[in-house]
Chain A
Amino acid sequence: MQNMKLKLKIWKQRDASSRGRFVTYDLDGVSPEMSFVEMLAYLNEKLVLKGDEPVTFEHDCHEGICGSCGMYINGYPHGPVKGLTTCLLSMRYFKDGETIVIEPWRAKSFPVIKDLMVDRSAFDKIQQAGGFISVAVGAAPEANTIPVRKHSSDLAFDASVCIGCGACVAACKNASAMLFVSAKVSQYALLPQGRPEAKERVRDMIAEMDKQGFGSCSNTGACEAQCPKQIKLFNIARLNREYIKAL
């Protein structure tokens, strides 16, 4: 496939307290084989060679599991393709000559650190408030020592694939973290190992979510549509049920 020429409008901001602005870059020679993150690395290479300041953005695993590469691309968190993180988003989904606008996640709870990089430690705080079990469970137990229904273990697994990227918050009109919290609560609530602390967990995690300044859930479904791991809205219903049980 032919290489592409792109116009990139990227948010540049020195730090949390300074004012940001868009900077436009013309980038030639983008291979459709590149991922979005590789395309930005390629841009930075060129900028550095020219002696310009590179664009700051976060990335690590390049395989959709670390959750660090989130950015808002042309009106979509992680870009326009469903079920992909920015690092797995291939440039072949973009057209030659296209203008791509790239912004950081926007939420009070995710302040900008620099350019496209935001501070997602509010998620860590929620996780620390209850996203664990406090007994040592040891190595993987023999499969049949604790019976778990197939359906429950499947649902728990589906919830556990949340990578904490924050796209749900970025997509939500309320900057709500409910999808993330519901995934973290569900992965334990569905398994016997998670039940003993289920009540404290859901209460503490919701309290921390509020404290961190995330919005509430209006059930619009934007989070589910944008989640690269396709965490389902039904998890939020389960979170609500768990919370009612814990009242």
Chain B
Amino acid sequence: MNKILFSAVSKKFVMALAGLFLLIFLPVHLGINLMLLRGDPEPFNNAAHFMATFPLVKVVEILLFLAIIVHIAYGLLLQVQNWMSRPVGYSVRNKSETSAFSRFMIWTGGSVLIFLVIHFFNFYFIKLGIVEGDPENFYSVAYQLFNIPGYVILYWVCFLVLGFHLYHALQSAFQTLGLSNEFWTPLIKVISLLYAIAIPVGFAIIPLVIWLIK
């Protein structure tokens, strides 16, 4: 049984499912963030409050943390095993054609992880009371952060890198779950590309628009 639960293929299934959950969560998060663009803090703070308190959302939040932890843990575990599978490398760099960004998933994923840590410090830890701030007014927390040029640049870089991760992630998850054939896969690749552009661009324009409005 253990052989099945922890086989290379099963680990990838779990990773893909957790990753898909994160892929669904991102547009929801983006939808809420776009409320920042309204002049009035109420809708955004209400949405943030709703996300923090509504019981069903609580369940989803637990799932979300689980998904993040499982995705990262399995990602690292698989990566280490994969590195160990080739203890002696080639002296000429491998020139085999590969799908773009697929070789850098550990690095793009790792960068996203660093952003996530910063992100938790900025927001989630306020909610937990670890970091000082008003959990009922994330609107102003966000505006303060977007006032720091260095933060915004970091934010943009992180979303660019996230885009790289997402482009391979979406199509890869379908392949891992066996949902791939001659007919669908070309379409899935186009959707991956659109998704990987739309999500980062959506997040990245928020500080830009805020600056322009000011």
Q: Taking beta carbons and an 8 Å cutoff, which residues of A are in contact with B?
A: 22, 72, 74-77, 80, 101, 103, 106-109, 171, 173-176, 203, 206-207, 209-210, 213-222, 225-226, 233-234, 236-241, 243-244, 247
Query: Please, how many residues of chain B have a CB less than 8 angstroms from a CB on the other chain?
Result: 43
B105 within 8 Å of A by Cβ?
A: yes
- In the complex, how many angstroms separate the beta carbon of A204 from the nearest chain B beta carbon? 9
Binds A, one of B8-16, B55-63, B122-130: B8-16
B-side contacts of A214, CB under 8 Å = 8, 85
Chain B residues closer than 8 Å to A218, beta-carbon distance:
82, 102-103, 105, 172
Chain A residues near B82 (CB-CB < 8 A) = 173-176, 215-216, 218
Instruction: Give the complex CA separation of A77 and B7 in angstroms.
Output: 27
8 A Cβ contacts from B153-210 to A: 168, 171-172, 175-182, 185
Note all chain A residues with C-beta closer than 8 A to B112.
none
User: CB-CB < 8 A to B180: which residues of A?
Assistant: 233-234, 237
Shortest CB-to-CB span from A184 to chain B, Å, is 14
Q: Are B90 and A103 in contact (CB under 8 A)?
A: yes
A217 touches B96 (CB 8 A): no
Tell me, in angstroms, the Cα distance from A190 to B25 when the chains sit together: 37
Cβ contacts A to B, 23 pairs, < 8 Å: A75-B90, A76-B96, A106-B88, A171-B96, A173-B94, A173-B103, A174-B82, A203-B4, A207-B7, A210-B8, A215-B81, A215-B82, A216-B12, A218-B102, A219-B99, A219-B171, A220-B102, A222-B94, A222-B97, A234-B181, A237-B179, A243-B10, A244-B177
Which residues of chain B in 88-133 are interfacial with respect to chain A, using CB atoms and an 8 Å cutoff? 88-99, 102-103, 105
Q: Is B98 touching A220 in the complex (CB atoms < 8 A)?
A: yes
B84 at the interface (CB under 8 A from A): yes
- Please tell me if the beta carbons of B176 and A106 are within 8 angstroms of each other in the complex: no
Which 7 A-B residue pairings sit nearest by Cβ, starting from the closest? A241-B178, A215-B85, A174-B82, A216-B8, A75-B95, A237-B180, A222-B96
Partner of B11, one of A72, A207, A216: A216
A234 to B186, CA, bound (A): 12
- Answer whether residue B78 sits at the interface, using C-beta atoms and an 8 A cutoff: yes
Could you say which of B7, B86, B97, B102 contacts A206, with CB atoms under 8 Å apart? B7
A219 to B179, CA, bound (A): 13
Say yes or no: is B3 at the interface (Cβ < 8 Å to chain A): yes
Question: In the complex, are the beta carbons of A244 and B87 less than 8 A apart?
Answer: no
Flag if B86 contacts A107 (CB, 8 Å): yes
Give the CA-CA distance A35 to B180 in the complex, in Å.
37
> CA A239 – CA B7 in complex, angstroms?
13
A245 to B7, CA, bound (A): 15
Query: Which residue of the partner chain A has the closest CB to B11?
Result: A216
The residues of B that contact A173 with a CB separation of less than 8 Å are 82, 86, 94, 98, 103
Contact with B175, one of A176, A206, A225, A233 (Cβ below 8 angstroms): A233
Q: How far is the CA of A107 from the CA of B83 in the complex (A)?
A: 10
Interface centre among B10, B87, B90, B103 (most CB of A within 10 A): B90
List residues of chain B with CB within 8 A of the CB of A238: 178
Given A219-B171, A225-B97, 13 more contacts at CB 8 Å? A106-B89, A107-B85, A108-B85, A176-B8, A215-B8, A216-B9, A216-B11, A218-B82, A218-B105, A220-B103, A234-B182, A240-B176, A247-B10
Residue of chain B at shortest CB distance from A203: B4
A106-B90, A206-B8, A220-B102 given; A236·B175 CB < 8 A? yes
Instruction: Tell whether, in the assembled complex, residue B96 and residue A77 are in contact, meaning their CB atoms are under 8 Å apart.
Output: yes
In the complex, which residues of chain A have a beta carbon less than 8 angstroms from the beta carbon of B88? Answer: 106
Q: Determine if A103 and B91 form an interchain contact, defined as CB atoms under 8 angstroms apart.
A: yes
A72–B3 touching, CB < 8 Å: no
Q: Which chain B positions have C-beta within 8 A of A236? A: 175
Contact B85 A220 (CB under 8 A): no
Evaluate contact between B85 and A109: CB separation under 8 angstroms.
yes
Of all chain B residues, the one with the shortest Cβ separation from A109 is B85
1/0 per residue B51-76: CB within 8 Å of A? 00000000000000000000000000
Nearest chain B CB to A156 CB, angstrom units:
15
Q: A171 contacts which of B3, B94, B172 (Cβ < 8 Å)?
A: B94
